[in-house]
C-alpha cells in the first residue's frame, strides 16, 4: 500500500476548492446523466458526487466524463473495494464514502484513486490519517453539530493541514457560513439536484439552484481573496 496515493493531486484539490460546491446526485436513468450535468454547468456548478446507489450509476458516471470532460466527477457511496476499481474504470476523478472503511481505503490507495472518507468523530479522522488522507468528508455535517462541532473536532489536527468537505443536511441557507471557514475545501449536498427533480427532468430548476449557490461561492471566494 502506498499511503501517498491517497492524497488529492494539487490540481484536483484546487479544482474542488474553486468549484466550492459538489452536487450529490442519485441518477436512476443513465439517459439523464448528460443533460443533468449540462444543467448544473449552465448554472456554474462543475463538480459532482455521483452516488453508486443505483444500478446504472457507473454508466452515468462514464457518460458524464465522456460528454462533459470539464466536470470533476467523484464516485459517491463507495462501500466496497470492488467499487473503487469500478469507479476508477468508469473515469472517476476521485471517490468518497459516507464512512471510513479501512478495506475501501486500502483499495483506493492500491488503485491510486484519490479518496475522501467520511468522518464524524476524532477516531474516524485518526483512522483516515493512517492512510495518508488529507481531504476528508464531514458526514453527516449538520446533524452532527455543524461548523461549531467541526471546528472543535479539527483543532487538535490543525498542524496537519487537513481540509474538510461537509455534506449531510447542508443547503444554500448555510453555504456561506461553511465557505467562509478556511477548514472547508468545498461543501456538497443533494439539495441542488434532488432525485425528484432529476426524475421529473426539470433541468431549468436544477440550473436555477446551481446558479443560486454558484453566486454564494463567488461571493465567499471574493471575500477571502
Ligand atoms: O453517499 C455518500 O457518499 C455520502 O456520504 C452521503 C451524501 O453525501 C449525502 O447523502 C448528502 O447529504 P444530503 O445533501 O443531506 O442529501
Atom of ligand 1 nearest to the CA of 76: 3
Distance CA 215, CA 211 (A): 6
- Evaluate if residue 199 carries a pLDDT over 60: yes
Average the pLDDT over 72-93 and give the result.
98
The x, y and z cell numbers of residue 152, run together, are: 472543535
Nearest CA to ligand 1 atom 1: 77
Atom of ligand 1 nearest to the CA of 51: 1
State the DSSP code for 167: -
Phi, psi dihedrals of residue 211, rounded to the nearest 5°: -65, -40
Indicate whether residue 190 lines ligand 1 (CB < 6 A).
Answer: yes
Distance CA 132, CA 119 (A): 14
Domain ranges of the chain: 3-219
The residue annotated as part of the active site, out of 137, 142, 151, 212, is 137
pLDDT in tens, 28-78: 999 999 999 999 999 999 999 999 999 999 999 999 999 999 999 999 999
The reported pLDDT for the residue numbered 115 is 97
Give the Å distances, CA to CA, from 69 to 37, 65, 72, 73, 204: 10, 5, 8, 9, 21
pLDDT in tens, 143-189: 999 999 999 999 999 999 999 999 999 999 999 999 999 999 999 99
Indicate whether residue 194 lines ligand 1 (CB < 6 A).
Answer: no
From 3.60.15.10, 3.20.20.70, 3.40.50.740, 3.40.50.300, which CATH number describes the 3-219 domain? 3.20.20.70
Q: Has this prediction a pTM greater than 0.90?
A: yes
For residue 167, the CA-to-ligand 1 centroid distance in Å is 6
DSSP string, 131-149: TT--EEEETTHHHHTHHHH
- Evaluate if residue 7 carries a pLDDT over 90: no
Q: Is 66 a catalytic residue?
A: no
For residue 190, the CA-to-ligand 1 centroid distance in Å is 7
Q: With 0-12 CB in 10 A as exposed, 13-18 as middle and 19+ as buried, what is 31? A: middle
Average the pLDDT over 206-223 and give the result.
95
Indicate whether residue 54 lines ligand 1 (CB < 6 A).
Answer: no
pLDDT in tens, 106-143: 999 999 999 999 999 999 999 999 999 999 999 999 99
Distance CA 159, CA 78 (A): 29
The residue annotated as part of the active site, out of 49, 110, 130, 151, is 49
Indicate whether residue 167 lines ligand 1 (CB < 6 A).
Answer: yes
Amino acid at each position: 500500500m502506498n499511503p501517498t496515493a491517497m492524497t488529492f493531486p494539487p490540481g484536483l484539490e484546487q479544482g474542488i476548492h474553486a468549484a466550492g460546491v459538489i452536487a450529490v446526485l442519485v441518477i436512476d436513468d443513465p439517459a439523464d446523466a448528460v443533460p443533468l450535468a449540462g444543467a448544473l454547468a449552465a448554472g456554474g456548478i462543475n463538480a459532482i458526487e455521483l452516488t453508486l446507489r443505483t444500478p446504472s450509476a457507473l454508466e452515468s458516471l462514464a457518460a458524464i466524463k465522456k460528454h462533459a470532460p470539464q466536470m470533476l466527477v467523484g464516485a459517491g457511496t463507495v462501500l466496497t473495494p470492488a467499487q473503487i476499481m469500478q469507479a476508477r474504470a468508469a473515469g472517476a476523478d476521485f471517490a468518497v464514502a459516507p464512512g471510513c472503511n479501512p478495506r475501501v481505503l486500502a483499495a483506493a490507495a492500491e488503485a491510486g484513486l484519490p479518496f475522501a472518507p467520511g468522518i464524524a468523530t476524532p477516531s474516524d479522522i485518526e483512522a483516515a490519517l493512517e492512510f495518508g488522507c488529507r481531504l476528508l468528508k464531514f458526514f453527516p455535517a449538520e446533524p452532527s453539530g455543524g461548523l461549531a462541532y467541526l471546528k472543535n473536532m479539527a483543532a487538535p489536527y490543525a498542524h496537519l493541514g487537513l481540509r474538510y468537505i461537509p455534506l449531510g443536511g447542508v443547503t444554500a441557507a448555510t453555504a456561506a457560513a461553511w465557505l467562509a471557514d478556511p477548514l472547508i475545501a468545498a461543501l456538497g449536498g443533494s439539495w441542488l439536484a434532488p432525485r425528484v427533480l432529476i426524475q421529473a427532468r426539470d433541468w431549468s430548476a436544477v440550473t436555477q439552484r446551481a446558479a443560486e449557490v454558484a453566486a454564494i461561492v463567488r461571493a465567499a471566494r471574493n471575500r477571502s481573496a
